[in-house]
Homo-oligomer: A and B are copies of this chain.
C-alpha cells in the first residue's frame, strides 16, 4: 500500500481508518512470515526452507459478486477474504499474508452513523476473519473507482511437493466433502427475498437472521485443508466456490477421471434443497479425494467429513460425472453458480 493511495482517502478525512488499517495489518508482523508490511515499495515475506509458496487472486465487483443494496459491508469484506483463504485451504497451504486492492466510489468513504463508513465496515469484516486465521494484511492499494471492487491476494506456504492439487485424483479414490452443502445458495435466496420486501439487513449485521450466515459469512476450511495435507490424507482437492457439480467437473478434468456421486449421501444443509446442495455455489467447503485404503476421520477440527462418491475411469465421449439416486443412474450436468448479473 503506497503513500499516494493512502493520501487519497486521507484527504477525505479518513486518516483514522488508514491508521487503523496499518495498525491492524501490522499485528500479524510479530509472528508468521511477514517481515515488512505496509509502507515501502513492496512487502517482504519469509517462508521456511523447503516450503513452496501458494498464491491466489480473486476479483470481486459490485453488481456481479456482491450487491451494495443487499450485502452488509462487513459481509463483503468477509467474503472477499474468504474466497482467497478458501483457495489456500484447497492447496493445504498455511496463510502467510493477504494483500487487498480496494476501489470505491467516493461516497463509500464517508462516515455514516455510528458504525462508520462503508470502507471502515468492509475492513472490519475483513480483519475479523483475518485475525481468526492469523493472516496479516501486508499491503495493497486503495483508489477511487466508479464501481466498488476488491481484488484479494493470498500468499500461503506449503512444504515443497506436498500441495493438494486438482490433478492427482485416481480411479477408485473415494470422494469426500467437508461440512454441509447448499447453505450459501439457500441463504442467498433468503437474502433476495428480504431485499424484495425491503427488509434490509445492511444496518446491523449482528441482527441478520442466522439462515443468511452461510451466505454472508462463509467459513473457509483452512484448518481442514492443512490437516489433509499434513496427514497426507487426500490425493486431490478443490474448494467449492462454483458449486459441487461444477467444481467436481474441474477436478475430474484436471485429473482425467470421472466420478459417480451418491445423492442419498449428500450432506444437505438445513433449509437447503438437494438441488442447492448439488449446484449452489459459495459454500467454500472442500471437496477432496482419498485412496480407498486411507482412513478418513469423521470430523476434522470440528467439521464433519462425508463420503459422497467414488472416482471412476474417464471415458472419451461419455459425460465424466454420474449421479445415483432413487430413480437410478444418470449423468450429472454442471449447473454451478451464476453471478448476480445473470440472476
Smallest CB gap from A341: residue in B: B144
Say yes or no: B4 contacts A246, CB within 8 Å.
yes
Say yes or no: B91 contacts A40, CB within 8 Å.
yes
- A149 close to chain B: CB less than 8 A: yes
Smallest CB gap from A39: residue in B: B254
Say yes or no: A52 contacts B57, CB within 8 Å.
no
Residues on the B chain within 8 Å of A238, using CB? 41
Contact with B along A152-190 (1 / 0, CB 8 A): 011110101001011100000000000000000000000
A54/B46 contact (C-beta < 8 A), A146-B146, A146-B147 known: no
Docked CA distance A131–B316 (Å): 37
Residues on the B chain within 8 Å of A239, using CB? 41
For A166, give its contact among B41, B138, B166 (CB under 8 Å).
B41
A12-20, A58-66, A211-219 - interface stretch: A58-66
- A151 close to chain B: CB less than 8 A: yes
Say yes or no: B46 contacts A155, CB within 8 Å.
no
- A43 close to chain B: CB less than 8 A: yes
For A49, give its contact among B4, B49, B138 (CB under 8 Å).
B49
Say yes or no: A143 contacts B103, CB within 8 Å.
no
A61/B97 contact (C-beta < 8 A), A44-B163, A151-B151 known: no
Say yes or no: A101 contacts B45, CB within 8 Å.
no
Say yes or no: B56 contacts A139, CB within 8 Å.
yes
Residues on the B chain within 8 Å of A43, using CB? 54-56
Say yes or no: B155 contacts A55, CB within 8 Å.
yes
Residues on the B chain within 8 Å of A91, using CB? 40-42, 44
Contact with B along A331-342 (1 / 0, CB 8 A): 000001100010
Say yes or no: A143 contacts B64, CB within 8 Å.
yes
Residues on the B chain within 8 Å of A49, using CB? 49-50
Contact with B along A191-224 (1 / 0, CB 8 A): 0000000000000000000000000000000000
Say yes or no: A55 contacts B46, CB within 8 Å.
no
Supplied contacts A41-B239, A42-B54, A46-B160, 20 more A-B pairs, CB within 8 Å: A2-B241, A3-B242, A3-B246, A3-B250, A35-B52, A36-B163, A36-B165, A40-B166, A44-B158, A44-B163, A46-B53, A49-B50, A55-B155, A57-B139, A59-B151, A61-B103, A103-B149, A141-B151, A147-B147, A153-B153
Q: Would you mind naming 23 contact pairs between A and B with Cβ atoms under 8 Å apart?
A: A2-B58, A4-B241, A4-B337, A36-B165, A40-B91, A40-B167, A41-B90, A41-B166, A41-B237, A42-B93, A42-B163, A44-B52, A44-B53, A55-B97, A57-B100, A57-B141, A57-B151, A59-B101, A59-B143, A61-B103, A141-B151, A145-B147, A149-B149
